[in-house]
A and B are shown apart, each in its own frame.
Chain A
Amino acid sequence: MAGILVFVEQRNGVVRQASLQAVSEAHRQAGGDVAAVLVGSGIGDAAAGLGAFGAAKVFLADDPNLALYSSEGYGEAVAKAVESAAPDAVFFAGTAMGRDLAPRVAAKLGVGALADVVGLEKDGDQFVARRPVYSGKAFATVDSAGSKPQVISLRPNVFAVEETGGSADVVALDGLSLAIRAVVKELVDTGGGEIDVAEADIIVSGGRGLKGPENFALIRSLAEALGGAVGASRAAVDAGWIPHKHQVGQTGKVVSPSLYIAAGISGAIQHLAGMSSSKIIVAINKDPDAPIFKIADYGIVGDLFDVIPPMVEEVKKLAG
């Protein structure tokens, strides 16, 4: 194979973890033949650092007009890097930006794209990818039917980051026209320092069993003690107890953290679909017949209001 180009996402000059995962996976698949493309403004320092994760070459599009994301500007830069590197595959981290940009770039190149990939294998001169469908109720093994280069977005937190200790040649991408119509005017921080469920390694989710919005404080206290994110079932979101960005499930976010704790969530099929690929699942529910127990690795049959406060204390003891 002729190598892999990885689009690397940065925010304020800091490369995102999901992109390092993508570079590492590219290195595992293609050995030395990995290039990266980094786009932004005033980000030269970040470019050289990618060598340590296996990128032999970094295409750098550094321009004040690229300070904030635009699918057209970033897409032009990536397409230009594809032209130079002529890779067999282009990897994106499946972040909000990656999932937005990958299909736009693919259409620009006139090729297909494989989204939300959780496993990759080589078969001759193309990649065969495994991806969840029906929100994880099934898994499809797919290829691109010969469409090349293969554009592939990788689900975050699935592929491991590996430091290889190499160094990268940085090549400037010049002569971009940057005809940008859709412009990010502003990036408003709505997280308040909270970890986003899509990026979290540990998630504590609450559902209808919480009985009211104020009791999400209980979920939050356990999430904080574990260093995790706060998730929610659709019932809790639809009741207006917590914003939609916390929703896990078929019409929310599909997640696969190493630890998922569901408290007061009975486990509707749409919710199970969104979290069943988590490595360890814990259920806390009063109803011993709740469907969530069927997929739980560990569970407590009991009232979450009695169980969670002592759990928080126990976790704090471990940390202390």
Chain B
Amino acid sequence: MNCIVCVTSVPDTASVIKIGPDGKNIDETGIKWIVSPYDEYALEEALQLTEAQGGEVTAVTYGPTRSEAALRDCLARGAHKAVHVIGGESTLGDSLTIAKVLAKALEGREYDLVLCGYMGVGTDCGQVGQMLAELLGIPHVANVTTLEVADGSLTAGRDVEGGQEQVGCPLPALITCQKGLNEPRYAALKGIMAAKRKPVDKIEVANLGIDEAGDSTYNVRSLELPPPKSDGTIIQGEDDPAGAAAQLVNLLRSEAKAI
């Protein structure tokens, strides 16, 4: 049971987002980079599967030099191998190009299951996994919250509006992982020390035959903060909560026309 886990580094979800000087990217000053939270579920699932069934976990990332920290984090938590495709600064949000790069990076590697987070937090596209599966010619199940793998096939549960789909497919396959699938572990000190000695296979993106700029399918024209909100109407309701409630419902009806 060999697993490939695709991870990406993103700004910490607690980051305050500011627009950078080019007006197209965020200001990276002071940003703390973390493994995208959904990728943590992917890694944890792969670790649990290989712990139960044998095999290896390979963590793969595509990003600039600083992204190596994400791979070290995966290795510290128990991944066996790591692959770093160096590049990606101009392809943020370009799901197809990212999927092409990952597909190239997986060529010649053996895997039963490829696991991704269901979206990269920040660009919020939620597309790379599905595209990667298509490019690899394997089936996928996206947005997975339950998973069973046995006898060369998997059964995965995924939330849809008002229900849950139970999807079955043969391996090799790809899943994208959603919160609820598992509880990701933290790296232990021993793992962090061991991770420093594990090798990371580094590949320049140009050596994969991909032209990041020429093959682009996503062009950011501008990035803006949402318009500021004007001050709201705040009712002091400590002394007369019922009166405040009546006043609020009246405002929602007559002024906001929201109910």
Binding site for B on A (CB under 8 A): 68-69, 71-72, 75, 95-97, 99-104, 106-108, 110-116, 128, 131-145, 147, 181-191, 194, 196, 198-199, 202, 226, 243-245, 247, 250-252, 254, 258-259, 268-270, 276-277, 279-283, 288, 293-303, 306-308, 310-311, 313-315, 318
B236 in the interface, Cβ–Cβ < 8 Å? yes
Name, among B125, B217, B256, the residue most crowded by chain A CB atoms within 10 Å (CB to CB): B217
Bound form: Cα–Cα A282–B237 in Å: 14
**Closest residue of chain B to A316, judged by CB?**
B249
- The answer to whether B165 touches A184, judged by C-beta atoms less than 8 angstroms apart, is yes
Question: Chain A's interface: helix, strand, loop or mixed, by majority?
Answer: mixed
Q: How far is the CA of A80 from the CA of B158 in the complex (A)?
A: 27
Contacts of B150 in A (CB 8 A): none
Contact A182 B131 (CB under 8 A): no
Contacts of B96 in A (CB 8 A): 106-107, 110-113, 147
B37 within 8 A of A: yes
The reply to whether the CB of B248 lies closer than 8 angstroms to some CB of chain A is: yes
Q: How far is the CA of A283 from the CA of B170 in the complex (A)?
A: 48
**Which residue of the partner chain, among A107, A139, A226, A277, contacts B131 with CB atoms under 8 Å?**
A107
Q: CA–CA, A139 to B223, complex, Å?
A: 6
Query: A173 vs B219: C-alpha distance in the bound complex, in angstroms?
Result: 34
A143-B245 in contact (CB<8A): no
A307–B17 CB distance below 8 A: no
A141 and B166 contacting across the interface, CB-CB below 8 Å: no
A251 touches B13 (CB 8 A): yes
Is B220 a contact of A142 with CB atoms below 8 Å?
A: yes
Q: Which residues of A contact B11 (CB under 8 A)?
A: 134
B55 in the interface (beta carbon within 8 A): no
User: Can you list 16 pairs linking A and B with CB atoms under 8 Å apart?
Assistant: A72-B139, A107-B131, A113-B95, A134-B26, A134-B124, A138-B224, A138-B226, A140-B222, A145-B217, A182-B169, A187-B160, A226-B259, A259-B258, A299-B233, A301-B236, A314-B245
Given the known interface contacts A145-B219, A299-B232, A307-B245, the answer about A194 and B162 at a Cβ–Cβ threshold of 8 Å is yes
- When the two chains form the complex, which single residue of B124, B170, B245 contacts A135, counting CB atoms closer than 8 Å? B124
A186: B residues at CB distance < 8 A: 165-166
